Amino acid sequence: MKDVKELELLRLLAMDSRLSTQTLATLVGTSQEEVEQAVRELEQKHVILRYSTVIDWEKVATPRVTAVIEVKVIPQREVGFDAIAERIYRFPEVRSVFLMSGGNDLQVTVEGSDLQAISRFVSEKLATIENVHSTTTHFMLKKYKEAGVIFDDHEDDRRLVVAP
């Protein structure tokens, strides 16, 4: 499969991983067999790591609290930020870790059952890691959009009213 078609296939799967291989083949302009082969190869190469679902957890009875934590660290000789990032991403509460430019080194997204659970994570696990210099925690108050999906989008008629 050509690179352009492969990129289009990946874009379509990222938007909706439940699309059938026949639908994907039609949208990409290739055969179903080529799509199946390309997906197998992309999975084997670890380009496709996992298929996931975006869920509006506020509509489920299980309340969750999400926080974004900015972390300043002292990089380690010969491994830089990687060793510290690995220690952090191994915690089950951690949803993502990014090396950032700017004033903070790492951005860590965590999820917990309540504010106290996140507070315990920061004070007992994250802040105690050697070479973690400081943390700043931001709690997410409301989710408007995630992974390209708009939450609580009102499908009202959004056309402008034209007055005579």
Residues 58-103: tens digit of each pLDDT:
888 777 899 999 999 999 888 889 999 999 999 999 999 999 999 9
Residue 135 has pLDDT above 90, yes or no: yes
**Rounded distance between C-alpha atoms, residue 96 and residue 110, angstroms:** 7
Domains of the chain: 3-44 (1.10.10), 57-141 (3.30.70.920)
pLDDT of residue 159: 61
Whole-model pTM?
0.80
Q: How is residue 79 annotated by DSSP? A: T
Name which residue leads in pLDDT, 130 or 60: 130
**Percentage of residues of the chain with pLDDT beyond 70:** 92
pLDDT (0 to 100) of residue 157? 56
Mean pLDDT of 95-122: 96
For 141-159, what is each residue's pLDDT tens digit?
A: 998 998 888 887 666 655 6
Q: Give the contacts of 114 (CB within 8 A, at least 6 positions apart).
A: 63, 65
In a 3-state reduction of DSSP, which class is residue 164?
Answer: coil
Q: What is the mean pLDDT of the chain?
A: 90
User: In the chain, what's the furthest Cα-to-Cα distance?
Assistant: 71
Residue partners of 76: CB distance under 8 A and separation at least 6: 83, 84, 131
CA-atom Rg of the chain in angstroms: 21
Q: Decide: 21 and 28 in contact? Cβ < 8 Å.
A: no
HEC string of 83-113 equals HHHHHHHCCCCEEEEEECCCCCCEEEEEEEC
Amino acid at 28: V
